[in-house]
């Protein structure tokens, strides 16, 4: 029997159905409103809000950004840091929990954010954590240090990439500030589809070549007919970091789309309202595939470098699959330049 996701967001998880919470412990959970002021862990002059979205009784999303309340820039108005952009497009981590156990899928950008996630879950009675890193990027591994006492699962490819770039990640020169220091590595590695039971959930961990060096580790949650995608698909597009491998990335994403049974998808970057309503479906992954295919197919067209994201993906914006967000227009321009250079390199 398929379980439907709750269509109504619930900012504070403190109802009678919360797993692992006795009536006495529930009364101790403060009724915070994370979507407004909420709990703000401090990081010098930067105090981002963390919101809690309840997707079902045992499935939460912790979300930062896209609310206009991200606080001051991480280091200063003139600093070029990707953390501030991450708040602009919004970032999510997902948690499955039952009783005293929880699975945390990605640990956000900063230890301060991950520390809030852990505190919130501990307030619900969770004592044992397992982390899954979808891929190597710091906005998905930056809070690993908060869970250094736990099992941290990743693909072998992601582990190798983190080892390779450790010095740059810890110095903040990989993609820019903020630095992730210390970087805590995954300690349980997989290299093929793996079925595992965590926190009472039967899960399938699926390594997929795509988006970033080392690929993306997707999590299939059959109980909810859900696939947690990391950055394999975003609302609006996919970052092209390895243009030489884009054909492989397209094929791998299509394999994920057609070879597994799921209905809902949960991206690492998307609208918090649409995540809360369970509005992202398989067509979001289809849009990511189509976007990459068009980058390849249209690279020889005269207006390729001047194309606008709104026009490039007009059909998916028109039918509501994608919800246009202005900062992604610059990412699209970067993607076309990256692919154009690769195309001309191959021609030569």
pLDDT band at 65 (very low <50, low <70, confident <90, very high): confident
Kindly state whether residue 1 falls inside one of the protein's structural domains.
no
SS (H, E, C) 193-246: CEEEEECCEEEEEEEECCCCCCCEEEEEEHHHCEEEEECCCCCCCCCCCCHHHH
Kindly state whether residue 14 falls inside one of the protein's structural domains.
no
pLDDT band at 330 (very low <50, low <70, confident <90, very high): very high
Count other Cβ atoms within 10 Å, centred on residue 19: 18
Question: What does the pLDDT read at residue 41?
Answer: 35
> Residues 103-116: pLDDT tens digits?
999 999 888 889 99
Separation of alpha carbons 281 and 195, rounded Å: 23
Kindly state whether residue 9 falls inside one of the protein's structural domains.
no
The residue ranking higher by pLDDT, 18 or 161, is: 161
At residue 339's C-alpha, the angle toward residues 333 and 345, to 5°, is: 140
State the average pLDDT over residues 320-335.
95
Structure tokens at 281: 């479906």
Residue with tokens 């591994």: 141
The residue ranking higher by pLDDT, 171 or 43, is: 171
Is residue 21 pLDDT above 90, yes or no? no
State the average pLDDT over residues 241-267.
96
Kindly state whether residue 78 falls inside one of the protein's structural domains.
yes
Separation of alpha carbons 21 and 6, rounded Å: 20
Instruction: Say how many domains are in the chain.
Output: 1
Structure tokens at 272: 């918090």
Kindly state whether residue 67 falls inside one of the protein's structural domains.
yes
> Residues 127-175: pLDDT tens digits?
999 999 999 999 999 999 999 999 999 999 999 999 999 999 999 888 8
Handedness of CA 258, 90, 186, 18 (dihedral sign): negative
This prediction's pTM: 0.84
Separation of alpha carbons 230 and 136, rounded Å: 10
Kindly state whether residue 5 falls inside one of the protein's structural domains.
no
> Residues 171-187: pLDDT tens digits?
988 887 788 999 999 99
Q: H helices within the chain, ranges in order?
A: 23-26, 82-89, 111-123, 138-141, 156-164, 166-171, 246-259, 272-276, 282-297, 309-312, 314-318, 327-347
Kindly state whether residue 323 falls inside one of the protein's structural domains.
yes
Provide the residue range defining the domain that includes 320: 23-347
Cross-sheet strand order for the sheet of 216-221: 194-198, 201-208, 216-221, 226-230, 264-267
Kindly state whether residue 109 falls inside one of the protein's structural domains.
yes
> In this structure, what CATH number is given to the domain that contains residue 34?
3.60.15.10
């Amino acid at each position: 029997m398929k379980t439907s996701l709750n269509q109504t967001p619930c900012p504070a998880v403190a109802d009678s159905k919360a797993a692992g919470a006795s009536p006495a412990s529930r009364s101790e959970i403060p009724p915070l409103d994370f979507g407004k002021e909420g709990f703000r862990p401090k990081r010098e002059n930067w105090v981002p809000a963390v919101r809690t979205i309840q997707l079902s009784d045992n499935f939460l999303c912790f979300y930062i950004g896209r609310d206009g309340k991200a606080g001051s820039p991480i280091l200063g108005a003139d600093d070029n840091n990707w953390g501030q952009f991450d708040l602009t497009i919004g970032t999510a981590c997902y948690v499955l929990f039952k009783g005293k156990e929880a699975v945390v899928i990605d640990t956000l950008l900063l230890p301060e954010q991950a520390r809030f996630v852990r505190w919130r879950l501990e307030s619900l009675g969770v004592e044992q954590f397992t982390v899954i890193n979808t891929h190597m990027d710091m906005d998905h591994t930056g809070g690993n240090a908060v869970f250094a006492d736990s099992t941290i699962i990743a693909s072998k490819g992601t582990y190798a990439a983190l080892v390779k770039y450790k010095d740059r990640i810890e110095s903040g020169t990989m993609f820019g500030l903020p630095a992730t220091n210390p970087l805590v590595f995954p300690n349980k590695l997989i290299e093929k589809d793996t079925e595992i039971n965590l926190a009472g959930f039967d899960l399938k961990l699926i390594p997929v070549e795509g988006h970033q060096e080392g690929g993306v580790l997707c999590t299939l949650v059959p109980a909810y007919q859900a696939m947690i995608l990391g950055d394999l698909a975003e609302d609006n597009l996919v970052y092209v970091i390895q243009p030489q491998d884009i054909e492989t990335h397209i094929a791998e994403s299509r394999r994920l789309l057609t070879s597994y049974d799921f209905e809902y998808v949960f991206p690492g970057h998307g609208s918090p309202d649409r995540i809360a309503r369970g509005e992202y479906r398989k067509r979001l992954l289809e849009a990511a595939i189509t976007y990459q295919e068009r980058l390849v197919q249209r690279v020889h067209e005269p207006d390729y470098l001047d194309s606008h994201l709104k026009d490039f993906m007009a059909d998916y914006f028109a039918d509501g699959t994608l919800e246009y967000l202005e900062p992604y227009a610059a990412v699209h321009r970067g993607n076309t330049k990256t692919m154009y250079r690769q195309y001309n390199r191959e021609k030569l």
